[in-house]
Amino acid sequence: MVQSTLIHGRYRLLDLVGRGGMGEVWRARDESLGRRVAVKCLKPLARRDDAGFLRVLRERFRREARVAASLQHRGVTVVHDFGDDDGLLYLVMELLEGRNLSQLLADNKGQPLPMAEVLDVAEQVAAALTYTHAQGVVHRDLKPANVMRSEDGAVKICDFGIARLAHDIGFTARISGTGTAMGTPHYMSPEQIADSAVDHRSDLYSFGCVLYEIATGSPPFEGGDPWAVLVGHRDTPPVPPRVHRPELPPPLAAAILRLLAKAPDERPGAAAGLADELAAARAHLPGAWTGTWGTAAFPGAPAAVGGIAPLWMPPWTRGMDAGLPAGGGRPARTPPEGAPVGAGGLSAWWSGSPGRPSGAHPVSPGPGGSAALRGPVASWGVARVSAASAAADTRAAARPAPARVPPRGAPPRERLAVLADRRDAGLRLGRAGRWEEAYAVHRAVAAEHELLLGPYHPDTLASRHETGTALARSGRHPEALEEYARTAAGRARALGPDHPDTLAVRHELGHALGRLGRWEEALEVHRQLASAREQALGSADPATVASRNEEAHCLERLGRRSEADEVYRELARRR
């Protein structure tokens, strides 16, 4: 294939992303819909002259592609289309911007990933496997290169159905001239090696191999040749992962060893069975939140009636209006001169907390606000949700406010250029998995942006969003929730509640609630966000689909499987 090739009169190949034994992956443009996609081009290299074989191969390709396209889960790469263009078999998938786990390990010079990231990957992959296995779909070639970590922190499994196609096309791995079962040696299950019947528990073994490698920096079995690796999988107990990394949380090490059991019956029955161990492992992280959010600390919170917590507005949303009209008919209102700024200034001014000057009045809400505003903000649902923002205000009030920069017109361009370079450095640290360092950079940049540009400037809010992301990726989810809450309020104030940037940070806010185990609240956030995105973008937009997938994931975590399946079926019907 060459650049600018047009596949099936629709998909224009732009840049080669990768090449492997199965073919090539291209970044491409869907000329019909005007969107960027990834196109995987497959070519059968065996028995090309056999017309009957090729006919059967095409039918098997369609079968596997349909199965892959039917999968609708936030942890599975979306397949948009597939086809046969003059003998070229191709799959059209969502374009993911990020790095796969193999690349992240290489970026980290072979060192294990940070513990918070290991657990985040484990939880998201387990959720995706729980879904796909419930659909009767087995991956058969799960490995670090097939697990993508996108720039927003989402983890997605790629290439469902490709392993079976590889077998049909003739790419079955060969060792010493003898065919072996589908898979990659470092991640193959004992039953794959024995060419025995394979079910979802084979994927769980491969999942254990992946977790072992990202947690310790090396796969469970290594050797000078593939046979040595395969014999290790079949006959040798793995070295306990804590031998390689003593600080590994014991529950995580136990989960990995359970996944690596030689006999399928000795492994967990399903990926969902890892939930307790992963939750226990997360409790071992530094700064892990183990308390509960109560309402006693908030005397202004209305009491529950009949055991059900009432819907109410969290403190940081008081005074929020519906944003600026599209025509810009009224000027943006900003805090008066002298209002507190800095780390807690935005929340303090906005929420009517003790940090706001007496006699100052927040912006008055409209009559009920817009549908998008009611959902993302008010529909957090219970009084305890406001704890994050209220706690931030309390800490901010206890700190001296930073010195204000006197009004001097536009901020110096040189200083803004320096801040842009520092922001880029923080982003690079994040991509390298050095999230604590990235947090320190983004936090400092946000504070300087606020002094130079004000608390509602898009650059200030972008730096706050990145600060929240770094906190979340470091496993500091209560603090991330605070930062996302503050950023969501600021963006709704400055950009409007329906602005894409406002919706994006609300999405992260829902994630943070889920990471804290507050699944009911996370469900409400994602449901309302899905409604807002559907109104603004349409039901088929990838952002809307992502929110519906998050809604289904929350339902799964709440044990409401039938409701989750209905959401997934609805997504499949809409396709």
Catalytic residues: 141
Distances (CA, A) of 465 to 288, 392, 494, 518: 21, 15, 14, 21
Residue 422 in tokens: 């520092």
The answer to whether residues 316 and 489 touch, using CB atoms and an 8 Å cutoff, is yes
Q: In whole angstroms, give the CA distance from residue 455 to residue 450.
A: 5
CA 160 to chain centre: 19
What is the spatial distance between Cα 320 and Cα 364, in angstroms, rounded to a whole number?
6
What is the rounded CA–CA span in Å between residue 209 and residue 212?
A: 5
**Closest to 547 in 3D by CA, of 199, 242, 152:** 152
Token representation of residue 106: 């290489």
- Cβ–Cβ under 8 Å, residues 484 and 512: yes
Annotated ligand binding at 40? The verdict is yes
Question: DSSP 3-state assignment of 36?
Answer: strand
d(CA 314, CA 142): 43
Residues 210, 281: Cα–Cα separation, whole Å: 17
- In degrees, rounded to 5, the angle at the alpha carbon of residue 454 between the alpha carbons of residues 450 and 455 is 70
Q: How far apart are CA 380 and CA 386, in angstroms?
A: 9
- Give which of 114, 110, 147, 113 is closest to 128, Cα–Cα: 147
3-class DSSP state for residue 568?
helix
Using DSSP, state whether 235 is helix, strand or coil. Answer: helix
Q: Are 542 and 94 in contact (CB under 8 A)?
A: yes
Element (H, E) at 437: helix 435-453
Residue 551: which of 537, 566, 572 has the closest Cα? 566
Amino acid at residue number 299: P
> What's the CA gap between 517 and 128, in Å, rounded?
18
Side-chain-side CA neighbours of 277 within 13 Å: the count stands at 19
Burial group, residue 414, by CB count within 10 angstroms (0-12, 13-18, 19+): exposed
d(CA 229, CA 107): 24
Residue 91: strand, helix, or coil? strand
* Cα dihedral 322/323/324/326 (nearest 10): -70
Helix (H) or strand (E) holding 555: helix 542-557
How far lies 518's CA from each of 252, 503, 509, in Å?
A: 22, 20, 11
Distance of alpha carbon 474 from alpha carbon 109, whole angstroms: 19
Which tokens belong to 192? 């794959």
Going by the annotation, the residues of the binding site are 40
Going by the annotation, the residues of the binding site for ATP are 40
